Each structure stands twice: as C-alpha cells, then as structure tokens.
Amino acid sequence: MQAQAGDIRDKQAVVFDFGRFRNTDGEGIRTMIFFKGCPLRCKWCSNPWGLSVQPQLAVNRDRCSGCGACVRVCPHGVNAIDDGGKVVVDFSKCTTCGLCVQTCPEKCRQVSGTRHTARELFDRVYRDLTFTRRGKSGITLSGGELLMQWDVAAEVLRLCKANYIDTCIETSAFAPWDHLKEVAQYCDSAFIDLKHIDSVRHREITGVPNELILENIERMASFMSERGKYIIVRHPVIPDMNDDEENWRGIASFMAGLPGLPELNVLPYHNLGELKYEMIGEQCEVAGLDMMKKSDERIDRIREIMAELAPNTPLTIGGENAGQR
C-alpha cells in the first residue's frame, strides 16, 4: 500500500487554468483549478480548451501581426502566413514544444495545459487562500471533467482537508461511482450538472446518455447528506437544446425524489467561448446563440414548475447564488 501512496504523490495531472477570487463556484470566495479532459461534448461548451486531456496549442489570430517568427522557429512546419498577412496553423502537426510561444512578439500564442503533482497544485492554491481566509473561502476543482484525473484530484482534496480548507467540485458525474466516491469523501460540497432528463436527448446534445449521471446524482445525494455535506444539482438552460417544458417537469420530479432534497441551481445560458474554439482550430457548434437573462420568461416557467412538482426543493438562479449555506 505504501508503494501506491508513493505513486500518487509522483503522479501528474494536466491542468489548463487556475482561478482566483471567484464567487460563482461554491460558498464564499473560491480558488479554482481547472483539470483538462472531458468525456462529454456539450454543443454549447464554453471551455473547449478543457475537452482534450492533452496539452494543446492556442493561437489568437486577431492579434497576429504576420511577422513570421513562428514560421521560422517551428521545427515541424506547423505555421504559415496566408495572403491576408495572418498566420495559419496546422494544429494536427503541433507537438506543443512551446518554442513559438516564447518567440511570438505579440504574445498571441500559448500552450494550454501544464502538468503538476497534487502537492504542487495544493501549494499553489494554498498561497492564494492565505489572502482570502478571513471570510468564507475554499477551493473548487473543475474542468473539463476532473474525474478523468480522479486520483490526483482526490489527493489535492485530501491535502486541503488535512489543512482545514473548504472543498468543492464541479462535475458532470459521468464516471464510475468508485472514482466519484474517492473524490467525494474529501468534499464539503459538490455541483453536479443535469443537462437533460431524457437520455436520448441528453446524448444528442452532450454526446453521452444520462443513466450513469442520474444514478450518480442519487448516490451522491445520499453519500453527502449522510455525512452532513451537500450537493447542488446544476441545470444550464440552453436555447433550443434543453429549454422544453417536458424536460423541466422531469427534472423537477427527479429533484423532489432525491435524498436530502438538494438545491437545484439554474444557470441561464451565456457563452464566452467562441474565440476559444477558433484559437485551437475548432468551431463552436452553437455560435451566435442569444445569451439569456435571469428575467427570461423561461426561468419564470422553471420557477412555476418547481413550485408545483418540487415545492420543498431549494431553487436558486445564477451561479453567484448557488450553494450559499
């Protein structure tokens, strides 16, 4: 067993971002770690850099001056300058060596994804937390889907709990229960997404069915409430994807039957990810969808349905109001 403990101390996870002073991803002020890799492909995903578990090159062509430095330095012929004087990138040939990142004078290149052990991740967030620990604060692990790197994630959370830090995760719950449970044992709270109650429609809009997710939400509701902890089920409302009455009635009935009556947090659609898709050479499938406001009549309708079918389930709208106990 000692050998296993040693292994996890040495193992690295790939992370694509850190966040500081966030108020939408757990109780109080949160320090965030975003793990790379996700088994879902939600059509509206605003974190496309989190989908692949591998590090990847990102290039902001809007800022490119066409100087050609990246063309000259790249050993693999990834870059060329087009007739318009801007760089074009063949992402399939890139080895993410990073040479062009250091060379680009406009700083429009970066390699998204760095490798860290659990201890390195803990040390980094612990520094941030020393600034916020006077009030309610803590760490939230997010992604991508952190459960793709569940063992390092669990070790980060274990270190946090050993240092009396409040811990939270944001997950799709599309993973084996054993992995989710390993992580959840070190969590004070957990946000779990529920994007559609119908499995066929869920697969159409996210690429995977929802049976495992529904089972894991039920298991998490029991597991966490038995330990005096809690989950928040998060429903992002996406125009033309899941904004139908039948879906909301199904979600309300599901919520009303969950152990411990966890909160439903509804997130009106916003997408700030379209440029991020371009920067890694991909296209956003739902580019141009209208953003939603909290005052949207669809949100009012969810309130009415919840009042009818799940009157005892706490309901919050918008990330900043979620999970505040």
Number of residues assigned to the chain: 325
Closest CA to 237 of 199, 204, 196, 207: 196
Minimum distance, C-beta of residue 164 to ligand SF4, in the bound complex (Å) = 29
Minimum distance, C-beta of residue 6 to ligand SF4, in the bound complex (Å) = 31
**Residue type at position 314:** P
**Between 167 and 172, CB nearer to ligand SF4:** 172
Strand partners, 18: 33
Which of 15, 40, 190, 213 binds ligand SF4 (CB under 6 A)? It is 40
Footprint of ligand SF4 on residues 179-238 (CB under 6 A)? none
Strand partners, 114: 15
Stretch that binds ligand SF4, among 106-114, 156-164, 222-230, 244-252 (CB under 6 A): 106-114
Which of 98, 176, 257, 311 binds ligand SF4 (CB under 6 A)? It is 98
Minimum distance, C-beta of residue 65 to ligand SF4, in the bound complex (Å) = 5
CA 132, 136, 141: angle at the middle one, nearest 5?
A: 80
**Between 37 and 129, CB nearer to ligand SF4:** 37
Torsion of CA 76, 82, 87, 92, to 10 degrees: -40
Question: Which tokens sit at 276?
Answer: 């991020």
Q: Does 38 bind ligand SF4 (CB under 6 A)?
A: yes
Q: What is the DSSP string of 61-76?
A: GGG-----HHHHH-TT
Which of 50, 55, 138, 319 binds ligand SF4 (CB under 6 A)? It is 50
Footprint of ligand SF4 on residues 55-74 (CB under 6 A)? 57, 59, 64-70, 73-74
Which residues have C-beta within 8 Å of that of residue 180, sequence separation ≥ 6? 147, 150, 171, 173, 216, 219, 220
Which of 100, 121, 141, 208 binds ligand SF4 (CB under 6 A)? It is 100
Distance of alpha carbon 301 from alpha carbon 249, whole angstroms: 10
Place of tokens 């067993």: 1
Which of 11, 22, 24, 97 binds ligand SF4 (CB under 6 A)? It is 97
Which of 12, 24, 52, 96 binds ligand SF4 (CB under 6 A)? It is 96
Footprint of ligand SF4 on residues 109-138 (CB under 6 A)? 109
Contact by Cβ (8 Å): 121, 13: yes
Residues at the interface with ligand SF4 (CB under 6 A) = 38, 40-42, 45, 47, 50, 57, 59, 64-70, 73-74, 76, 78-79, 87, 94-100, 103-104, 106, 108-109, 143-145, 172
